[in-house]
Amino acid sequence: MTALVQFKTVEHGVGVITLNRPEAANAMSVQLLTELSDTLNQIHHNPEIRVVLITGTGEKAFCAGADLKERKHMNEQQVKEVVSLIGSTINKVEALPQPVIAVLNGVAFGGGLELALACDLRIASSHAKMGLTETSLGIIPGAGGTQRLPRLIGIGKAKELIYTARRIDANEALRINLIEHLTEPEQLMEKAYQLASEIGNNAPLSLIQAKTAINNGIEVDLKTGLKIEALAYDRLLHTEDRLEGLLAFQEKRQPQYIGK
């Protein structure tokens, strides 16, 4: 059976997840979701991986969302189970301790965009298109789209995109802060690796605690958020990496972080 999710590691502790179902626009079949969930479990507990990239095979699609052809043959209970599987898998992406970058090599519709929204950062090819198209299919975004999109781009614009099921191009996505970077197709992975390396050169425990403080703090009032930040900071005080950072600064050299 062909693997529908590929994983490899490259320099600077960067792990690359590739959705490998190009003949179906990398749509989320049950097999793909199961393999992706298993891959995320392995990454979550691997301290050697400092940054994660998620992309798709080919230049046409990052992920077209749920596999609606597969869903046509399911009964109502099976559909509920698959929708739950999509949601829980996407939640695992957000729950990874490492920073995660969505590398949008092509279209990202429905669950595909919801997958990208669960990542920390998004970089897109100039020909990519994206949208939460569910209301045009008689449903709503069911894997976090109604919650993550407003938090990212603001409630008014998010409502407009969800209500209209509009598909937007990469330039519009950049303008409304749906993505952080836009590049030409042939430079996409190079740009992604460059950003991932820039992140991965920093202390891995610091990255984890920074992500924890930001993600948890954004959901609460400022006073509580500052307490969350203080707790995250305290977790780093007795680490070897903190001492290495200070020593490297004094010695005017590049720090060598080990994640301890």
Distance set, CA 173 to CA 29, 109, 117, 148, 178 (Å): 26, 13, 12, 15, 5
Whether 198 is a known active-site residue: answer no
Whether 134 is a known active-site residue: answer yes
Q: Which residue has the tokens 């919650």?
A: 147
CA atoms in the 13 A half-sphere facing the CB of 213: 19
Catalytic residue among 114, 160, 180, 184: 114
Which helix (DSSP H) or strand (DSSP E) does residue 85 occupy? helix 76-95
Residue among 46, 212, 219, 232 nearest 147 (CA): 219
**DSSP strand pairing (100-104 vs 129-131):** unpaired
Contact call for residues 129 and 168 (beta carbons, < 8 A): yes
Residue among 203, 182, 5, 185 nearest 93 (CA): 5
Q: Which amino acid is at 219?
A: E
Residue among 60, 225, 65 nearest 145 (CA): 65
Per 3-state DSSP, what percentage of the chain is helix, strand, and coil (rounded to 5)? 50, 15, 30
Catalytic residue among 59, 134, 180, 240: 134
The residues assigned a catalytic role are: 114, 134
